[in-house]
Structure 1
Amino acid sequence: MLENKRGIIYVISDSLGETGELVAKAGKIQFNTSISDIKRFPFVLEKEQIDEILYEAKEDNSIVVYTLVVPEMKEYMRNKCDEYGIPAIDVIGPVIDALRLMTKKEPLYEAGLNRRLDADYFKKVEAIEFAVKYDDGKDSRGIKKADVILLGISRTSKTPLSMYLAHKNVKVANIPLVPEVDPPKELFEPIKGKIIGLTNDPDKLNHIRIERLKALGLDYTANYANMERILNELDYAEKLFHKLRCPVINVSTKAIEETASIVLSIIREGEQL
């Protein structure tokens, strides 16, 4: 008998169906094991798809939770559920109706608007992937492709700044500066991007590096945190910045957002030249 079968919730959506599934889960949790499953059917845009799903649902002890916005599809869903005797819940319809009364405007009735991806989204994703690929000097070829090339010794906020700028759709490559390692030759060749140096105060670098070593369980008296070593690295970086004639930002008293704002200003100034 159907009444002895554990129930199944069918979630049907013209988008991903996440909203309907969350509502179904919120209801299901109140009934312990009485409901066996939630089946989600995303991107249901044709009546034939509704037919196929409900043909299966009518054989189960089921209810339908749906998030459809196109009126014709909603009506078809209601009629079919009535025909098969399947209880159906329109999750988003009452919200749209209430908003229509409040705004005195007609909704767009377009499926999947909350998931529509615009060009800006793809630019952001591309910039984030770029920042990851060309982080910490992994591949110097990124210098030729980047909008901004950040140079600095260890613990000058190169990586967090790169990721923050990536979320502003800026492609960033960052290069660590080490006195014993020659800088990439691409820095001295014609490039489209803007080279920017990052520096920090010696005392702050000393403190940050000691804490970093402690966090890694390493000897905090190692050469990495030695003040003489830090001063040597800063001197090396300063000479390279001078050679490249690039702007330099001291990050010692600046939040990432503030440093990023300065970088964006430098980019805009360069575009106006």
Structure 2
Amino acid sequence: MNRIHLHLLSDSTGETLEMIAKAALAQFENADVVRHFWPMVRSQQHLERIVPELANNPGLVLYTLVNVSTREALEDHCRKLSLPAVDALDEVTHALERQLGEEAHGRPGRQHRMDDAYFQRVEAIQYTIAQDDGVGAEHWEEADIILAGVSRSSKTPTSIYLANRGYKVANIPLVVESPPPAILFELKKPMVVGLTTAPERLVQIRRNRLLTLNEQSETSYVEKDRVTEEVKFARRMFADNNWPVIDVTRRSIEETAAAIIRLHNERHARIKPGEKPI
């Protein structure tokens, strides 16, 4: 197995850098990567404290540093240590400068500034947490997206991920013995999406959940025939209401969220100005 040290240096929270690294590393199944995360590097004094760690754990240095002097100092240290250093946003920024005909602002953390989009994300997160697991049906019409599915079909983590992208999301568990509130079938603004998964995989997830909680592992909750009926019940509801369905069996939360966002964007693209979603 190939093992490398990956140093991530950012003058902000490092969230963007981590996402870039994660996306790139997903292409290498056999790599053993030791990550060293260095956020909020905004001075050469801070950088000097990191350099010994670079020397003790040589590897690839990936960075997003907009301050010219700090960036040049890092690049100089990397040359002296014979370490490869890559500016994660450099090529994209230069391309945008050429297309837009203006110079980029060298402001650390600019993507995280407290603008309207920031407050929209905060509001979306607060809404989503308040409407988790079928709670707050009277507020569902305010949602952008409603996720429906049987227990342990990744509704809550997917909802939180989408909320961090600025979408107000409510989610509701589908239980055979307890039909969802009638309002679910009367919503106009939100897009309702059904999440489903293979019964075998669902049984495995539920068993692990029970073990984590130190609860009895042999109940109807994990009985295969029962779980299969639950999944069929949910699928019939999705089909009867013409809701889009996403099978999360082999999808990560990020992949599921990306598919939902695509559906949401396509839905709104079909709506003419002044019309309401249907």
Please give the TM-score of this superposition, normalised by the length of structure 2.
0.58
Q: Who is 1:184 aligned against?
A: 181
- 2:205 is equivalent to residue 214 of structure 1: no
Shift of 1:142: 3.0
What is the rounded CA distance, in whole Å, between the counterparts of 2:219 and 2:146 in structure 1? Answer: 29
Once the two structures are superposed, what CA deviation does each residue of 1:209-230 show, in whole Å capped at 9, x if it has no partner? Answer: 1111111111111111111210
Which residue, out of 195, 220, 224, partners 2:221? 224
Kept after mapping to 1: 8 A contact 2:112/2:118: no
In terms of mean alpha carbon deviation, does 144-153 or 233-242 score higher? 233-242
Q: Who is 2:122 aligned against?
A: 125
Q: Residues 246 and 114 from structure 1, CA distance in 2 versus in 1: closer, same or farther, beyond 3 angstroms? A: closer
Shift of 1:190: 3.8
Q: Who is 1:201 aligned against?
A: 198
Kept after mapping to 2: 8 A contact 1:149/1:195: yes
Identical aligned residues as a percent: 39
What is the rounded CA distance, in whole Å, between the counterparts of 1:239 and 1:138 in structure 2? Answer: 23
Larger radius of gyration: 1
What is the rounded CA distance, in whole Å, between the counterparts of 2:121 and 2:206 in structure 1? Answer: 32
Please give the TM-score of this superposition, normalised by the length of structure 1.
0.59
Kept after mapping to 1: 8 A contact 2:131/2:170: yes
Shift of 1:126: 0.6
Structure 1: 4+ residue segments shifted above 3 A: 96-99, 112-116
Q: Residues 182 and 210 from structure 1, CA distance in 2 versus in 1: closer, same or farther, beyond 3 angstroms? A: same
What SS is found at the alignment partner of 2:194? strand
Once the two structures are superposed, what CA deviation does each residue of 1:218-266 show, in whole Å capped at 9, x if it has no partner? Answer: 1111111111210121111111111211010000000111111110110
What is the rounded CA distance, in whole Å, between the counterparts of 1:113 and 1:230 in structure 2? Answer: 47
Q: Residues 217 and 266 from structure 1, CA distance in 2 versus in 1: closer, same or farther, beyond 3 angstroms? A: same
**RMSD (Å), alpha carbons:** 3.4
Q: Residues 189 and 215 from structure 1, CA distance in 2 versus in 1: closer, same or farther, beyond 3 angstroms? A: same
Which residue, out of 150, 159, 162, partners 1:162? 159
Once the two structures are superposed, what CA deviation does each residue of 1:140-189 show, in whole Å capped at 9, x if it has no partner? Answer: 12321100000000111000100111111111000000011121111121
Gaps of 5+ in 1: 1-17, 24-95, 103-107
Shift of 1:97: 10
- 2:132 is equivalent to residue 147 of structure 1: no
Kept after mapping to 2: 8 A contact 1:143/1:191: no
Kept after mapping to 2: 8 A contact 1:152/1:197: yes
What is the rounded CA distance, in whole Å, between the counterparts of 2:179 and 2:242 in structure 1? Answer: 17
Aligned residues: 183
Gaps of 5+ in 2: 1-39, 46-66, 74-104, 271-278
Aligned-partner residue type, residue 219 of structure 1:
Q
What is the rounded CA distance, in whole Å, between the counterparts of 2:112 and 2:240 in structure 1? Answer: 48
Q: Residues 243 and 217 from structure 1, CA distance in 2 versus in 1: closer, same or farther, beyond 3 angstroms? A: same
